[in-house]
Amino acid sequence: MIRRFGRSSQEKRGEPASLLVVGLGNPGSRFEGTRHNAGAEVVALLAERHSTPLRKSKELARVAEVRIREERVALAVPQTFMNESGQAVVKLVHRHGIDDPTRILIVHDELDLPVGELRVKSGGGLAGHNGLRSITAHLKTQDYLRVRIGVGKPPGRQSGADHVLRRPGVAEATELAVVAQEAADAVEMIVTVGVDEAMSRFNTRP
**Catalytic machinery residues:** 36
Other C-beta atoms within 10 Å of 135: how many?
28
Report how far residue 137's alpha carbon sits from residue 146's, in angstroms, rounded to the nearest whole number: 16
Task: Collect all residues with Cβ–Cβ distance below 8 Å to 123 and sequence separation of at least 6.
Answer: 142, 143, 144, 145
Task: Collect all residues with Cβ–Cβ distance below 8 Å to 107 and sequence separation of at least 6.
Answer: 21, 22, 23, 24, 38, 39, 42, 43, 146, 147, 149, 183, 187
- Beta carbons of 103 and 18 less than 8 angstroms apart: yes
Task: Collect all residues with Cβ–Cβ distance below 8 Å to 179 and sequence separation of at least 6.
Answer: 116, 117, 118, 149, 150
